[in-house]
Structure 1
Amino acid sequence: MKQRVIFMLLAAFWVVMNILLWRAEYGAKEYVGAAVSPQQIWEKVLTAADASTLEIFHKGKRIGAARWVASIGEAHKGSSSGTDESPEGMVRKISGYTLDFDGNLGVEGLGGNLRFYLHLVMNERQEWKDMNLRLGVKPIAVEVHANAANESLELSWQDGMTEWKRNWKFAELKDPLKLIEEFDTAGMLGAWVGAMLPAKAPTNTVAVSVGMDWKAHHDILRIGSTDVRVYRLEVRLFGNYRAVMIISRAGEIMRVELPGDVTMINYALTTY
């Protein structure tokens, strides 16, 4: 009788373990396509422990590389004895977030590689506070700085011969095409932006509405011979253009698909 009970327990254990293993391998596929909150994914991206190193491709040809780094700011609070008793590595209280995105692109017609650097600062509620964008291709250097508290934007330009700086209030930026026309004397940038707008947009539109429809769901990404559970985040721009981001469960950027057949792929995936 004792041996029979032991045998039944072992058999039950074997069945349960096989069910759990089956769920781990195949169960995730049952949830492919299930909706998930975009905010939940964004939270994982902001708190990711590792940076995302990306290779940039255009129509399958490598044209550059970039690095995405998210950091969490801490509000330090010492104990009454004046010593910090929090475990090492633990975030005691989030005071804000920072995002850094930098890299280079080989763009035909520029005469050199385009360097870019984006630095974004957000508060603990994930509302942006300060943004700095730098673009450079020798000898030209462009810098854009925006501040939420002052509701201002500053643009500076250097090309080795001339240097200037201009400031605007956000209220003055409601018509982006008018702003582009102010500086784009050759009309090239204005034509590019115009091509990005919906074909049926009225020509007398005063302000361009950049609507963004965010959708997110669970997905599967095959890495080598293994299926990995990921998040798929999609956004539509101007109604006609779509961008897709594949995010790992840890918040690392695995793949980005942009309009114009531009793709960014995590370096770890390019080795497979």
Structure 2
Amino acid sequence: MRKAGLVLITVFWLGMMGALVRSEFTSRHSDGIPIPAHLIWERILQASDPSVLVLTLAGSNKRMGSFKWVPTIIEQQPAPQDNRDIEGMVAGITGYSLDLDGNALLQTDFWTNHIRISGRLNIDTNQAWTDFFLQLSVRPDVWVLEASAKEATLRVRSGTPGDPFERTLQLKDLTSPSKVLRELTGGALPEALLNLPAFPSSMGTNSSKIEARRDHRLRIGSHKIRSLLLRATILGHQELRLYINPQSGEVLRLDLPNQISLVNEILL
């Protein structure tokens, strides 16, 4: 009888110690294990399915908009004389694209409207961006931004009826608000706004920081789900967090500054 009691006590003690060790390990690693960022980008760019994301504010489940995130692998086009079109054969990859399309509700104390957003980011096989397109539509205005890494330019144009507008900016000038405002407004602003200081070097590219982790536990309500985490700090203090499903590569959640989030609809 005493042996049975000792066995039970030993089993209980081992169980408690195991639970404590597991709890300590889980707590210590709930933020994930550091990995190279390019591994997560690879998973994102090669995801087989799109992600439907819901726009929310300040952690609320109220839907303020909806977007579709679509990654695409760009394959090399076969030469006309190449008839080796074998089913299931994968052509050479020449790059990737990320498309975001959807709409959001804009609300102020005096005005409410919907904004249509459509964008595409093209990326080469080295995971460097090559060009970027973004269209913002708020009736009756349409604004288009087009950037080229090769030309190092940002083209801004408007399709407002009866009032066309187009300007081309150098990417290096984007750190100088004064230069940007002068280009976009033709100098038609108060002198105080046209003489704003440039962003300090501490807010430049050297201050940008990207951190990647696997096995991160993303809290959804009272549950935690395993995810890949890509965390970026830009302009010295603004933080973006992108959570990815490690199996499918789908976006689980994107947290932006000012408590703005895009959350996969399956999590709401």
TM-score by length of 1: 0.72
Mapped partners of 1:66, 1:241: distance in 2: 23
Is 2:40 the counterpart of 1:41? yes
Deviations 1:120-151 (A, max 9, x none): 11222222222111011001110011222333
CA 1:225–1:186 in 2, change beyond 3 Å: closer, same or farther? same
> Which of 246, 256, 259 in structure 1 is aligned with 2:257?
259
For structure 2, list consecutive stretches of 5 or more residues without a partner in the other structure: 1-22
Is 2:52 the counterpart of 1:53? yes
Q: CA deviation at 1:111?
A: 3.8
Amino acid at match of 2:96: Y
Give the equivalent residue in structure 1 for 2:136: 135
Aligned residue for 2:34, secondary structure, equals coil
Give the equivalent residue in structure 1 for 2:124: 123
CA 1:248–1:183 in 2, change beyond 3 Å: closer, same or farther? same
- Contact preservation (8 Å) 1:175, 1:206: no
Mapped partners of 1:159, 1:242: distance in 2: 33
Mapped partners of 1:226, 1:113: distance in 2: 33
Matched-pair identity in %: 27
> Which of 236, 241, 244 in structure 1 is aligned with 2:241?
244
Give the equivalent residue in structure 2 for 1:175: 176
Deviations 1:56-102 (A, max 9, x none): 01121321111111100112447x983223x42x5331111111011
CA 1:176–1:47 in 2, change beyond 3 Å: closer, same or farther? farther
Mapped partners of 1:159, 1:253: distance in 2: 34
Give the equivalent residue in structure 2 for 1:19: none
Mapped partners of 1:64, 1:47: distance in 2: 26
Give the equivalent residue in structure 2 for 1:165: 166
- Contact preservation (8 Å) 1:96, 1:121: yes
Mapped partners of 2:237, 2:172: distance in 1: 27
Alpha carbon RMSD of aligned pairs, Å? 3.2
Aligned residue for 1:257, secondary structure, equals strand
Amino acid at match of 1:255: R
For structure 1, list consecutive stretches of 5 or more residues without a partner in the other structure: 1-25, 195-202
Mapped partners of 1:224, 1:173: distance in 2: 40
Deviations 1:19-44 (A, max 9, x none): xxxxxxx9x95854211221111110
Amino acid at match of 1:56: L
Is 2:94 the counterpart of 1:102? no
CA 1:69–1:225 in 2, change beyond 3 Å: closer, same or farther? same
CA 1:204–1:105 in 2, change beyond 3 Å: closer, same or farther? closer
Give the equivalent residue in structure 2 for 1:230: 227
Deviates further, 173-182 or 49-58 = 173-182
Aligned residue for 2:132, secondary structure, equals strand
Mapped partners of 2:204, 2:235: distance in 1: 8
Give the equivalent residue in structure 1 for 2:72: 71
- Contact preservation (8 Å) 2:122, 2:130: yes
Give the equivalent residue in structure 1 for 2:209: 213
- Contact preservation (8 Å) 1:135, 1:143: yes
Give the equivalent residue in structure 1 for 2:15: none
Amino acid at match of 1:115: R
TM-score by length of 2: 0.73
Aligned residue for 1:41, secondary structure, equals helix
